[in-house]
């Protein structure tokens, strides 16, 4: 059998179609169909030569920690690896890598928040509740991404495949949300009732949860950065610049600076004026707000009196030097003539 070496233009055009199909599944907020979920889990366990487990459904990840697992099955990804090898052997290596990036990796990025949530809970359960006990099993948190890749290989590239194994993987991926497994017990977490993103597909909401479950368990996020509730439940327009003085986490300080804006920070933290040139002022915030000192170039619009503020390197010694840096080396005198 000859290897498939490249995609036709028609096949290339179908990549976004399959990516969108599985992205909708990955980010679904529909309630889990429990009958289909139970059937899919039992089928997957049978393929691993395991008896039917007890299956418990919970409303949110917060309930996972209340469940006692007796013996943890260490996820080794045998089913995923087995199926990957079946398709990989039919495609030239560079083509396999290409479609893996465009399908598997793309879905993982879309599904990142749930994968991260799964991983952190999984780690917590394994480390705190019981000793890890090695056992051949599957690792279903990546099965959505794998299912997207395999679906394309079968439907578009006409690859041969082991039907029983593939169907077991795709059913668990499609019908179960977050899933945690032991030898005799499976806990399936209900899907979120709400997931919100910004225009770059990063988890994001302002003044409300970005992801929420039916029992009220929530996560707050600002352009992909997870926020503590004390910040997340308040709209960025109401964030206070003084919070920067006590926030120790550098990433959260960066998010606060982004949300508050330098103009408000200047006003609320009483920035020190270092130099002026026409309507421009070089300012320094004399507080331990960020990792390095904050120097700002402030411009007051003559017609509207609206303040614009842009951060510049702390090596700036004058307003003119800061203006030159902002304008890619153009001298402010020359810039004003050009304007």
Residues 153 and 297 in one domain: no
Residues 56 and 125 in one domain: yes
- Residue 187, domain member (yes or no): yes
Residues 172 and 283 in one domain: no
Residues 332 and 254 in one domain: yes
Lowest mean pLDDT among 118-122, 181-185, 273-277, 292-296: 118-122
Residues 62 and 184 in one domain: yes
- Per-residue pLDDT tens for 178-217? 787 777 888 888 999 998 988 887 889 999 999 899 989 8
> For the purposes of burial, counting CB atoms within 10 Å of the CB of 243, is it exposed (0-12), middle (13-18) or buried (19 or more)?
middle
- Residue 204, domain member (yes or no): no
Percentage of the residues of the chain whose pLDDT score is greater than 70: 82
What's the rounded Cα separation, in Å, for the pair 156 and 158? Answer: 6
Residues 24 and 165 in one domain: yes
Residues 30 and 155 in one domain: yes
**pTM greater than 0.85:** no
Last residue within a domain, chosen from 156, 191, 226:
191
* pLDDT above 60: residue 44: yes
Return the SS3 of 111: coil
- Residue 130, domain member (yes or no): yes
State mean pLDDT over 304-332: 83
Last residue within a domain, chosen from 172, 191, 210:
191
Domains: count for the chain: 2
**For helices 143-155 and 15-26, angle between their N-to-C axes, nearest 10 degrees:** 150
Residues 53 and 134 in one domain: yes
Is the CB of residue 103 less than 8 Å from the CB of residue 152? Answer: yes
Residues 183 and 261 in one domain: no
- Per-residue pLDDT tens for 56-113? 998 987 777 666 655 444 444 467 777 888 888 899 999 999 998 888 887 776 666 5
Residues 33 and 169 in one domain: yes
- Residue 197, domain member (yes or no): no
The strand order across the sheet containing 294-300 reads: 272-277, 280-285, 294-300, 307-312
- Residue 86, domain member (yes or no): yes
- Per-residue pLDDT tens for 119-163? 555 544 444 443 333 333 456 667 888 888 999 999 999 999 888
- Residue 212, domain member (yes or no): no
**What does the pLDDT read at residue 62?**
78
Is the CB of residue 108 less than 8 Å from the CB of residue 145? Answer: yes
**What does the pLDDT read at residue 146?**
87
- Residue 221, domain member (yes or no): no
Residues 27 and 174 in one domain: yes
Q: At 11, list the tokens.
A: 């096949």
**What does the pLDDT read at residue 116?**
61
- Residue 220, domain member (yes or no): no
Where do runs of H (alpha helix) occur along the chain?
9-13, 15-26, 34-47, 78-88, 93-99, 106-110, 112-129, 143-155, 163-175, 229-232, 250-260, 262-268, 319-326, 332-338
Residues 58 and 185 in one domain: yes
Look up the domain containing 286 and give its range.
241-338
């Amino acid at each position: 059998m000859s290897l498939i070496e490249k995609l036709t233009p028609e096949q290339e055009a179908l990549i976004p179609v399959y990516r969108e199909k599985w992205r909708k599944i990955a980010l679904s907020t529909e309630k889990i169909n429990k009958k289909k979920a139970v059937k899919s889990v039992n089928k997957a366990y049978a393929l691993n030569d395991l008896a039917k487990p007890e299956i418990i459904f919970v409303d949110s990840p917060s309930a996972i920690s209340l469940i006692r697992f007796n013996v943890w099955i260490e996820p080794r990804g045998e089913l995923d690896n087995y199926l990957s090898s079946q398709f990989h052997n039919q495609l030239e290596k560079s083509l396999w890598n290409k479609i893996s990036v465009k399908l598997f990796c793309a879905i993982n990025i879309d599904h990142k928040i749930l994968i991260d949530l799964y991983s952190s809970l999984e780690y917590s359960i394994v480390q705190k509740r019981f000793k890890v006990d090695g056992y051949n099993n599957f690792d279903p948190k990546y099965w959505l991404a794998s299912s997207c890749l395999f679906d394309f290989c079968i439907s578009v590239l006409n690859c041969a495949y082991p039907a029983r194994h593939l169907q077991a993987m795709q059913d668990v991926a499609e019908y179960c949300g977050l899933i945690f497994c032991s030898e005799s017990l499976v806990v399936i977490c209900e899907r979120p009732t709400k997931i919100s993103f910004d225009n770059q597909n990063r988890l994001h909401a302002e003044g409300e949860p970005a992801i929420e479950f039916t029992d009220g368990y929530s996560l707050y996020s600002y352009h992909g950065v997870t926020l503590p509730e004390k910040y997340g439940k308040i709209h960025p327009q109401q964030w206070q610049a003084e919070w920067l003085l006590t926030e120790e986490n550098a990433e959260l300080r960066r998010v606060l600076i982004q949300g508050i804006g330098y103009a408000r920070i200047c006003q609320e933290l009483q920035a020190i004026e270092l130099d002026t040139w026409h309507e421009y002022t070089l300012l320094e915030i004399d507080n331990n707000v960020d990792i390095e000192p904050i120097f700002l170039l402030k411009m007051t619009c003559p017609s509207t009196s609206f303040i614009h503020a842009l951060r510049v390197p702390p090596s700036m010694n004058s307003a003119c030097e800061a203006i030159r840096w902002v304008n890619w080396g153009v001298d402010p005198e020359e810039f004003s003539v050009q304007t």
